[in-house]
Amino acid sequence: MDRVLSAVKPTGRLTLGNYIGAIRQFVQYQDQYEMFIFIANEHAITIPIDPKELRQNTKDLIALYLAAGLDPEKCTLFLQTDVDAHAKLGWVMTCMSYMGELQRMTQYKSKTINGETGITAGLFTYPCLMAADILLYDAKYVPVGIDQKQHVELTRNLAERFNHRYSDTFVLPEPLMASTGQKIYSLQDPTKKMSKSEENPKGTIDLLDPPAAARKKIMSAVTDSVGIIQYDPENQPGLANLLTIESCLTNESIDSIVERFQGKGYGELKKEVGQVVFDFLTNLQAKYKEIIQSGKIDEVLAQGAEKANYIANKKIRKVYKKIGFTITK
C-alpha cells in the first residue's frame, strides 16, 4: 500500500481553508493508503507563540483531526516532537539545501516583500524540516493545499540530491491536491488566502467559531456588482469562493449549484452557503467536544508515536550511516 503523509501546524485556530484544502482529503484517503498525519508543532515556533496558546492549539488540532473523521485504527496520528528523528533529519536537509532555493520559496518571499521585520531563521529554513517530515516515512503522496505545493517540490529535489550523493535512500514524493478547494480565499478579500494569521476575523471562518457567527461572516462576504450567479473566479472571485465552499462541504458539483441558482440573487445563495457552514460546524464541534471530554487524546498520540518512531528511527539510522555519522557497523 502506498504511503501518504501530511500535517498541519498548530499556529492558530484552524480555518475552513485548512479543513477543505487538507483535512478533508486526509479523511478521504485513509481507506486507500497507509496514512501518517501529524501535528507539526516544531513548525509552530517559526513565529513566536505563547506556550499556553501552543498547548491549547495542539489539543484542539488533534481533537479536530478525530472529529473530522480521522480514525486512529486506519491512520497513524502523532505529535512531531514525540519523534526525535524529525529534528535530526531536518538538520541534514538544511545542509542539503542552498540559500538560493530557499529564497525562492513564495511564502518566504511574500513575507520579505511585505517588509515584515523580525523574520526568524526558522521561518527561512522550515521547508527543510518539512522535507525531513516527508522523507522519513517514504511518503509517496502528500495531500496539501496549493500554498504548500512548492515545498513538496523542494522536498523532491532534496531527496534526489541526497540519493545522488549518497545512494538511493528516499522515495520522491508528489503533492496531492483536491480538484476543488486547493485554495479557499478570505471572505473579505477574495484575492487573498483564508489564513490562520489573517488580521480581519470577518474574513476567516475558524473551525471552532460559534456556528451562528460563521453564518454571519458568510452573509457579509465580499462579492461583486455583476449580479449573475456563475463560476468565474477571475472576475467574480468572492462568489466563486462561496460556490467552492458549498461544493466542498456538500459534494454537490459547482455546476449543479450554479444551475439551481439561475435567476436568483446573491443573498439567497449566501443564505444557503451560510446554512451549510452552520450545519457543518455544529456537527464537527459536537464531535470535538465529545473527544475532548473522552480523554482519549493521550492514548491516540502515544499509540501514534510508537508506530511513527519505529519507521522514522529506521530511516534516520540509515541516513546517519550513509553520511558517515555512525562509526560502528
Q: Which residues are catalytically annotated?
A: 111, 193, 196
38 vs 288, which CB is nearer to ligand TYM? 38
Give the interface segment with ligand TYM, choosing from 7-15, 247-255, 275-283, 310-318 (CB under 6 A). 7-15
Of the pair 8, 63, the CB lying nearest ligand TYM is at: 8
Chosen residue from 3, 140, 156, 183 binding ligand TYM by CB under 6 A? 183
- Residue 249: CB minimum distance to ligand TYM, A: 13
Q: Which is nearer to ligand TYM, 208 or 228 (CB)?
A: 208
Please identify, using beta-carbon distances, which residue of 59 and 296 lies nearer to ligand TYM: 59
173: left (phi over 0), alpha (psi -120 to 50) or beta: beta
Nearest to ligand TYM by Cβ — which residue? 21
Report if residue 194 touches ligand TYM, rule: CB under 6 A. Answer: yes
> Residue 231 has which C-alpha cell?
463560476
Per-residue burial over 294-324, b if 16 or more Cβ lie within 10 Å, else e, is eeebeebbeebbeebeebbeebbeebeebee
Angle in degrees, 0-180, between the axes of helices 149-166 and 85-96, rounded to the nearest 10: 80
Nearer to ligand TYM, 195 or 223 (CB): 195
Residue 23: partners with Cβ closer than 8 Å, 6 or more residues away: 8, 14, 64, 65, 68, 70
User: Minimum CB separation from ligand TYM for residue 65, in Å?
Assistant: 12
Which residues between 117 and 176 bind ligand TYM (CB under 6 A)?
130, 133-134, 142, 144-145, 147-148
Of positions 3, 17, 27, 211, contacts ligand TYM by CB under 6 A: 17
- Sort residue 115 into left (φ over 0), alpha (ψ -120 to 50) or beta: left
Helix axes 211-219, 266-294, angle to 10 degrees: 160
Output phi, psi for 39, to 5 deg. Answer: -105, 115
User: Which of 3, 13, 21, 305 touches ligand TYM by CB under 6 A?
Assistant: 21
C-beta closer to ligand TYM: residue 134 or 316: 134
Structure-block grid coordinates of residue 221: 462576504
Contact 127/96 with Cβ under 8 angstroms?
no
Let me know: does 201 contact 188? Beta carbons within 8 Å.
no
With contacts defined by CB under 6 A, name the span among 6-14, 92-100, 160-168, 256-264 that binds ligand TYM: 6-14
Of the pair 10, 274, the CB lying nearest ligand TYM is at 10
Q: Is 43 in the site for ligand TYM (CB under 6 A)?
A: yes
Near ligand TYM in 89-108, by CB under 6 A = none
Shortest Å, Cβ 327 to ligand TYM: 31
Q: Which of 3, 24, 156, 193 binds ligand TYM (CB under 6 A)?
A: 193
Number of residues located near ligand TYM, criterion CB under 6 A? 24
Report how many helices (DSSP H) and strands (DSSP E) the chain contains, helices first.
13, 5
Determine the Cα–Cα distance for residues 61 and 40; give it in Å rounded to an integer.
10
In 3D, which of 175, 174, 151 has the Cα closest to residue 93? Answer: 151
Site residues (CB under 6 A) for ligand TYM, limited to 230-249: none
**CB-CB contact of 93 with 85 (8 Å):** no
Smallest gap from Cβ 38 to ligand TYM, in A, equals: 8
Residues in touch with ligand TYM (CB under 6 A)? 5-9, 17-18, 20-22, 40, 43, 130, 133-134, 142, 144-145, 147-148, 183-184, 193-194
